[in-house]
Amino acid sequence: MRAAVFTTTGDPSVLTLVEREPAEPGDGEVRVRVVRSAVNPTDWKTRQGATGAGMPFPEMVPNQDGSGVVDAVGPGVEHLAVGDRVWVMLAAHGRPTGTAQELTVLPADRVFVLPDGASFDVGADLGVPALTAHRTLTVSEDGPTRLGPGTLDGVTVLVAGGAGAVGNAAIQLARWSGATVVATVSSDAKAALATAAGAHHTVDYTAGDTAAAVRDLVPAGVDLVVEVAPAQNLPLDLQVIRPRGTIAFYANNGGDEVTLDVRSTFATNARLQGVLLYTVGDAALQAGAEDVTAALRDGAFGVGEEHGLPLHHYPLEQVADAHAAVEASVVGKVLVDVSDA
């Protein structure tokens, strides 16, 4: 089988394509024939060595997310069978092999059945972006721990960066759950994408007073902020959050350090909640996977321009170009076409 690998950290050129024998699934594992492998920022940061972890294994296959078909089942696996269409999460977390290969072996609890009618394209987008979005929407002091129709009724969510992959997922999941969604964007084109995802309102943060614009839409303040750039946006978030609201941040876009004005922060009684999938715990991951799959089954989650997330396809031979595109902050979702559906 073909696999993309890297043996040292660095730019996309460290990725090479090799031939190798497929691994066999062990106890509690399944082997998946990968159809689509998704590239997320965490994937290029790991490859580059930006996470500080270096090379935990001598050779690594990148990419956490993907979709495909179960090819083999190890002992002790009862909820999956050969031939099942599936999506996978965190394939390379704590393991040397991700989804940028034709056959990948991973724990069965990281593999989920893809609902009938759901494409492999959308299946590959249900890992890091959708599960991160789910977590940001379920950490509020007064909010639900699970998502579904009606669970966010009466809640207003502000999504920073509504045209990004996590922002797009947050908009779709929040709308499915009954929330009113406001998204900040930086252009008319990105406003169109956020609206296609389901945002009720968009605010261009490059034009005028963003806090005033949000407050005009939500005079009482927003209940929850899904934040991608806390170093830049925390002052804004504190101006628009309602008392006892939550600012859930999942990335460090725009800077690694936040300057905190103590009085204006504690005066809101707001919660600042960090979100990172690798440490949320198995219960949160499983709950998120179940809810995201339910949203997909309900037809409430999609990808493509019509859902606010343009797709960019690359063959496995061009996996380095796929990584470079994500590293360059291409708008939309980058997918590697590994094998035929």
Instruction: Find tokens 């309102």 and name the residue.
Output: 201
SS3 category, 274: strand
pLDDT confidence of 254, banded at 50, 70, 90?
confident
pLDDT of residue 260: 85
User: How many of the other CB atoms lie within 10 Å of CB of 183?
Assistant: 31
Residue 265 has what pLDDT?
85
**So what's the pLDDT on residue 158?**
98
Mean pLDDT value across residues 191-220: 97
Cβ(32)–Cβ(69) below 8 Å: yes
Q: What does the alpha-carbon distance between residue 86 and residue 176 come to, in Å, rounded to a whole number?
A: 22
Number of C-beta neighbours around residue 119 at 10 A: 18
Pair 155, 224: CB distance under 8 Å:
yes
Could you read off the pLDDT of 313-330 as tens digits, one per residue?
999 999 999 999 999 999
CA–CA distances in Å: residue 66 to residues 76, 205, 221, 268: 23, 33, 37, 40
Q: What is the pLDDT of residue 68?
A: 98
- The DSSP secondary-structure symbol of 12 reads G
CA distance 86 to 67: 6
So what's the pLDDT on residue 45? 94
Task: Using alpha carbons, select from 261, 245, 247 the residue that is nearest to residue 160.
Answer: 247
Written as one string, the DSSP assignment of 212-249 is: HHHHHH-TT-EEEEEES-HHHHHHHHHHHEEEEEEEEE
Return the SS3 of 323.
helix
Place of tokens 């600012």: 247
CATH number listed for the domain at residues 2-125+309-337: 3.90.180.10
Q: Say what percent of the chain tops pLDDT 70.
A: 100
pLDDT at 269 over 80: yes
pLDDT band of 334, cuts 50, 70, 90? very high
Q: Indicate whether 104 pLDDT > 90.
A: yes
pLDDT, position 140? 95
Beta strand segments in the chain, E: 2-5, 16-19, 29-39, 65-73, 85-88, 103-107, 111-113, 156-160, 180-185, 201-204, 222-227, 241-249, 271-274, 311-315, 333-337
* pLDDT at residue 97, rounded to an integer: 95
- CATH number of 130-278: 3.40.50.720, 3.40.1480.10, 3.90.180.10, 2.40.30.210? 3.90.180.10
**Residue range 35-64, pLDDT digits in tens:** 999 999 999 999 999 877 789 999 999 999
Confidence (pLDDT) at 330: 96
User: Which has the closest alpha carbon to 87: 62, 105, 70?
Assistant: 70
pLDDT(34) > 90: yes
Give the whole-number percent of the chain exceeding pLDDT 90. 92
Whether the per-residue pLDDT at 123 is higher than 90: the answer is yes
At residue 193, does pLDDT exceed 80? yes
**Three-state SS for 70?**
strand
22-33 pLDDT, tens per residue? 999 999 999 999
Asked if 210 and 236 count as a contact pair (C-beta separation under 8 A), the reply is: yes
At 53 the pLDDT is 75
Block residue for tokens 């007064």: 142
For range 84-106, the mean pLDDT? 97
Q: Where in the chain is the domain with CATH 3.90.180.10?
A: 2-125+309-337, 130-278
Q: Give me the residue label for tokens 């009618």.
A: 117
Answer left, alpha or beta for residue 254, where phi above 0 means left and psi between -120 and 50 means alpha: left
Residue 263: band (very low, low, confident or very high) from pLDDT cuts 50, 70, 90: confident
Question: Which residue in this structure is represented by tokens 């009862």?
Answer: 78
Q: Where are the alpha helices (DSSP H) in 50-207?
A: 120-123, 128-136, 165-176, 188-197
The answer to which of 100-114, 211-225, 241-255 has the lowest mean pLDDT is: 241-255
Residue range 280-303: mean pLDDT, rounded = 97
Confidence (pLDDT) at 54: 82
- Contact status, residue 148 vs residue 177, Cβ threshold 8 Å: yes
